[in-house]
Structure 1
């Protein structure tokens, strides 16, 4: 059974990092804590530092980025904050004067990190190796937080200390490049002081590989390809990671703390569960609300099992069984009509009273996410125990492949990295796939292939939205109408007897309007601007 590790050590411990009553960056709750009474033992420092793991993205939150991409449709605008706005961002109808995108504007987390860095030296007789390791962990958390803010808000205030007055905290934005430079510096400083692996209650802490892999992601997302390739290769050369053999079970509790985990948010049944029942749960299995629905454009992007792309080009393609003979990652990622659910019943979104397309708490597209949902959660409650994979080794391999291809073009090493990912999925390698489709292998065609592979391998994990932002493809993939599945020819896997039907017409769900570059950057929340004089709104949103 999974134990409760570091993420639950400090659930209620939140310190006051700023003496003023109004800090425009963010405010932390009041507490009885004081600097004079707290920093007295090593355990104080460990508890305070461990709080950073609560700052990392959980399953309930990060999965909603799928609804902002062409991977999924968020069918409601009734969730809280960013969850509520997933549909409005996905269809580019978000209005800055009536909504707020503040869930990633987290300067309370920044303050917590600097409070630790400024106070830890007060602990008497602290073991120096432990202190260096905790400082390194906090720097990784700082790097992650600023990285996320620069990806979404672009230019943000670069706060490097704990403020002591309102006036001092009213600071302007810093150029994104300067913030990213500081992020990379923190990661470079942290990596040497982190362990390669942890055991026992320390499992789940940031490792040296975590710092290096996050560095590779930061460099890739900022178009610094030679450096990104080198950083990813440094992770590969650690020989500390390997792909988990079973793609589906990697995302179940069996895959927690696996050889593929680099950074994960730890969820524990009963005590710290994930809340994916409402977001991704099938109604007939767990009473889920299924707010988030995979789109046909994602399902149709999976190759045939033989590597034909599109899958309809495979000689074995059967229009009445379009989900057969496909990349095995499709069945592991998505419930489609005819899939066997976790309760061993057949998924029928055409006839099932609970799962019927457009029904209450049912799918809107005809599909549901499978791989992120705990297969043991069969009761009507949020009690998923599977961890959320924030960064895993397959991403490192694809980061290396993309960055190295962008830097120098195709190579045997690039192809080997992609083939390692595809081999785990039981898919043909790059050269075989290019040959069967009649494609010419060059930098441009391999770029297209790697981008496709990222979409398929990482589907349901929240990364696609960030790929759209950095590749600047919003106008191509988030513009125009989106639809339900098209079962107008009839599906062989759905029973059409006793009054049932196996047909469903392609039906429009909504229109998307990504027709302006302003949607590549998030607006600063108005509530933040209202408390500041020196901080200005992004020019695209004024």
Structure 2
């Protein structure tokens, strides 16, 4: 049996061959990639078309959004402009993609014509397509706000020139599609169907949509519904979950799959150390993120811990630090190359700060870079939705509804226990914090930043929490190793010190940066119908 990933690859090729139709302002994709005369003749056609929709879900390059936040810095010149708030309407088309929406309505318009279609299969495929449609509108409204809302198949380009619809109205439709999908999706898959959209995935997306739009009671309820399915648990090891070990595991709710034969991920190039991982250091963690990790005993900031050593600032820390980020002096080795093991951004030719493929911040990523093979790109899935996020969604939303409770603390303690960190109440006691709704909100936001670091969600959290002026305005810096790093050898003319230096100035100084401008190319093509977001005029 052909797996759905291979079917996707085949359909991608078909779509490329069919390109060349007239384009409109909504999108730069062909209006009819697949036509009635060449398709919709068998259930396999309908399945392959639905499989094609998976390409519009988050993939490995979603991690670029880390560099739009205070978690990371990138040397990619376009993405960097979103991080330092110098973007404009000429480069803001990254998520302006109506291809999935057009294809979804093409599916709805044609699936009933397929002869011999099993009704249960049709219901399931319809649900999967509705999930992708909901996701695309969710992500576009999260970034652009009010956008054109297409609710039918457009076959005439003249009908594509439509004005924007209010974000809140679009979100109502997103929730309706998800509710319809939840009713028709299975709880689990097995065999070659692993990785398809499930009931839990639709509930997890529903929780995220509600949370990001400030509907806290509904967000908590959707997250609780995922928990009540009793099919998800946290993977025993935090680091290994993001390796291929965690693919389709009990924590993996929905992930984009990669294989050696069809498609490998690009996480090594994007995140990996040049010297130790054969990566390109395109996205680097910031010192601000590294400083956010508590001590292993729960002290925050970590410098309050009596065991803190100025020459070993990355030791005695939350274990997730070294499972997520390579810091100066850290050890990392592949089985094939056991001697290539110390991360040295001060002296190493590959990772040296300022080098061609070196780190800019003095840090590199460990999380999500395939640790099994030094040469090939990765085959670990990109985990788009997982149980750790659901627990955090529940904790944040329920705290906004009712303040601290035993169920919230239990959800957070599950995450911290898996990480090897003290529980919430013990951490509050160590730091002499008073437990109330405001202090727990701060703690949940901190825990969310640490647990989900490197996954791309931090930028969206900054936008929805409206903290851009606080965390994305001003300088970002390199590692501060003024006192020296004891773990780095200083023989042979090497140094173990590095002064704290400015990497970049950031300019998040206006409310307009909470939304992206509508792409100028779309406005120009709309014949005056589509108007720019008022904040960006």
TM-score by length of 2: 0.96
* Cα distance in 2 between the residues matched to 1:38 and 1:405: 50
1:482-526 C-alpha deviation (Å, 9 max, x unpaired):
110000001110001221111111011111110000000001111
1:180-195 equivalences in 2 (<5 Å): 180-195=171-186
Q: Does 1:464 align with 2:458?
A: yes
Q: Name the counterpart of 2:470.
A: 476
CA gap 1:500/1:270 in 2 versus in 1, 3 angstroms: farther
Give secondary structure in 2 for the equivalent of 1:422.
helix
Of residues 287, 310, 321 in structure 1, which corresponds to 2:312?
321
CA gap 1:333/1:18 in 2 versus in 1, 3 angstroms: closer
Give secondary structure in 1 for the equivalent of 2:505.
strand
1:60-459 equivalences in 2 (<5 Å): 61-77=61-77, 85-96=78-89, 99-343=90-334, 344-379=340-375, 383-459=377-453
* Cα distance in 1 between the residues matched to 2:88 and 2:246: 40
Deviation at 1:230, TM superposition (A): 0.6
Deviation at 1:146, TM superposition (A): 0.2
Q: Does 1:539 align with 2:530?
A: no
CA gap 1:361/1:431 in 2 versus in 1, 3 angstroms: same
Give secondary structure in 2 for the equivalent of 1:149.
helix
Deviation at 1:361, TM superposition (A): 0.2
* Cα distance in 2 between the residues matched to 1:3 and 1:30: 24
1:443-488 C-alpha deviation (Å, 9 max, x unpaired):
0000000000000000000000000000000000001011100000
1:377-425 C-alpha deviation (Å, 9 max, x unpaired):
412xx61111101110000000000000001100000110111111110
8 Å Cα contact 1:9/1:50 also seen in 2: no
Deviation at 1:315, TM superposition (A): 0.6
1:116-161 C-alpha deviation (Å, 9 max, x unpaired):
0110000112110000000000000000000000000000111011
* Cα distance in 2 between the residues matched to 1:415 and 1:448: 14
Give secondary structure in 1 for the equivalent of 2:11.
coil
* Cα distance in 2 between the residues matched to 1:469 and 1:17: 38
* Cα distance in 2 between the residues matched to 1:251 and 1:259: 12
8 Å Cα contact 1:67/1:73 also seen in 2: yes
Give secondary structure in 2 for the equivalent of 1:350.
coil
With 27-36 and 351-360 compared, the bigger mean Cα shift is at 27-36
Q: Name the counterpart of 1:82.
A: none
8 Å Cα contact 1:240/1:259 also seen in 2: yes
8 Å Cα contact 1:5/1:201 also seen in 2: no
CA gap 1:30/1:111 in 2 versus in 1, 3 angstroms: closer
8 Å Cα contact 2:8/2:48 also seen in 1: no
* Cα distance in 2 between the residues matched to 1:28 and 1:92: 28
Q: Name the counterpart of 2:337.
A: none
CA gap 1:460/1:176 in 2 versus in 1, 3 angstroms: same
Deviation at 1:9, TM superposition (A): 5.2
8 Å Cα contact 2:23/2:31 also seen in 1: no
* Cα distance in 1 between the residues matched to 2:120 and 2:344: 57
* Cα distance in 2 between the residues matched to 1:275 and 1:237: 35
With 509-518 and 23-32 compared, the bigger mean Cα shift is at 23-32
CA gap 1:405/1:333 in 2 versus in 1, 3 angstroms: same
1:254-283 C-alpha deviation (Å, 9 max, x unpaired):
111111011111111243001123211211
8 Å Cα contact 2:21/2:32 also seen in 1: no
1:2-81 equivalences in 2 (<5 Å): 4=5, 7-8=8-9, 10-14=11-15, 21-29=22-30, 33-59=34-60, 61-77=61-77
* Cα distance in 1 between the residues matched to 2:170 and 2:52: 23
Deviation at 1:23, TM superposition (A): 1.7
Superposed CA RMSD in Å reads: 1.8
Q: Name the counterpart of 1:81.
A: none
8 Å Cα contact 1:16/1:29 also seen in 2: no
* Cα distance in 1 between the residues matched to 2:407 and 2:103: 41
Deviation at 1:7, TM superposition (A): 4.5
8 Å Cα contact 1:15/1:33 also seen in 2: no
* Cα distance in 2 between the residues matched to 1:76 and 1:457: 25
TM-score by length of 1: 0.95
8 Å Cα contact 1:5/1:202 also seen in 2: no
* Cα distance in 2 between the residues matched to 1:195 and 1:485: 47
